Amino acid sequence: MKRRMFLAGAASSLLAAPALARKDLKEAEWVIGIIPEMPFDIQLMNLERIPPAFRRQDVRWGGREEAGSVIVDVAARHLYSIQGNGKAIRFGIAVGREGVGWAGTTVVGRKAKWPTWTPTANMRRRNPKLPVQVKGGPENPLGARALYLYRDGRDTLYRIHGTNEPWSIGKAASSGCFRMLNEDVFELYGSVPVGARVYVR
């Protein structure tokens, strides 16, 4: 997929954007453009700052998983969107920190645009300063899209979602969920239906 964007201007222009008003110049330098959307534009990241292994790539796939399914390779920090006919799209992701990782087969139970973030009780016990809830938007840790992972009809509380911390891609940084660049989760959201299988390995 070609990167649909409007190029951003100089750093001073970037800092004037509402989503970047409280971010310093170092963070602002990540943004090179946008995917126009309502109610918020999706920021496009400077991929030169992402290690090549974690940039979106079309790859060959030799597995038997059905087209439309998703494979998460936790150790490699890769997510594969299976296209069928021996093809897949590989994305770089951030995974759970040591001790909160997990594996298994789930399904996409629901999807959300600009999702609300509600920290779990365990997260708030570990960090009492966390808010009870954060509305969707550029400052929300879930980013532009979220795919909610279910097992046996129940929410596992794990998600595949965007991030406002692009520098975390390729690292063990989350509380167990799988983070993607917002432009990548935007693409995944559009191609993976509710009910798709997600294999976490």
Q: Which residues are catalytic?
A: 161, 177
Spatial distance between the Cα atoms of 188 and 174, rounded to a whole number of angstroms: 19
Neighbours of 88 (CB within 10 A): 25
Q: β-pairing, 95-96 with 172-174?
A: parallel
Range of the domain at 139: 93-200
Is residue 180 included in any domain, yes or no?
yes
Identify the pLDDT of residue 100: 63
Structural domain includes residue 1: no
Q: In which order are the strands placed within the sheet that holds 178-179?
A: 57-60, 87-92, 78-84, 70-73, 197-200, 104-113, 145-151, 154-161, 178-179
pLDDT digits (tens, 9 = 90+) for 90-106: 999 999 886 567 789 99
* 136 assigned to some structural domain: yes
Residue 142 is encoded by which pair of tokens? 């879930």
The mean pLDDT value for 112-139 works out to: 89
10 belongs to a structural domain: yes
| pLDDT of 2 | 55
The pLDDT value given to residue 154: 97
Same domain, 33 and 124: no
Of the pLDDT bands very low, low, confident and very high (cuts 50, 70, 90), residue 26 is low
Residue 103 belongs to a domain: yes
With vertex at residue 159, the alpha carbon angle to CA 151 and CA 127, rounded to the nearest 5 degrees, is 115
Q: What is the CATH number of the domain that holds 117?
A: 2.40.440.10
148-197 pLDDT, tens digit each: 999 999 999 999 999 999 999 999 987 789 999 999 999 999 999 999 99
Same domain, 107 and 14: no
Task: Please report whether residue 67 resides in a domain.
Answer: no
pLDDT per position as a tens digit, 38-88: 999 999 999 999 999 999 999 999 999 999 999 999 999 999 999 999 999
Assigned domain for 190 exists:
yes
Q: Are residues 112 and 187 in the same domain?
A: yes
Domain count, the chain: 2
Q: What is the pLDDT of residue 163?
A: 96
Co-location of 40 and 135 in the same domain: no
pLDDT at 10 over 60: no
Is residue 168 situated within a structural domain? Answer: yes
Segment 24-34 mean pLDDT: 78
Q: Which band of pLDDT confidence, cut at 50, 70 and 90, is reported for residue 5?
A: low
The whole-angstrom distance between residue 7's C-alpha and the CA centroid of its chain comes to 22
Whether 106 and 42 share a structural domain: no
- Cis amide bond preceding 18, omega within 30: no
Would the pLDDT of 4 be above 60? no
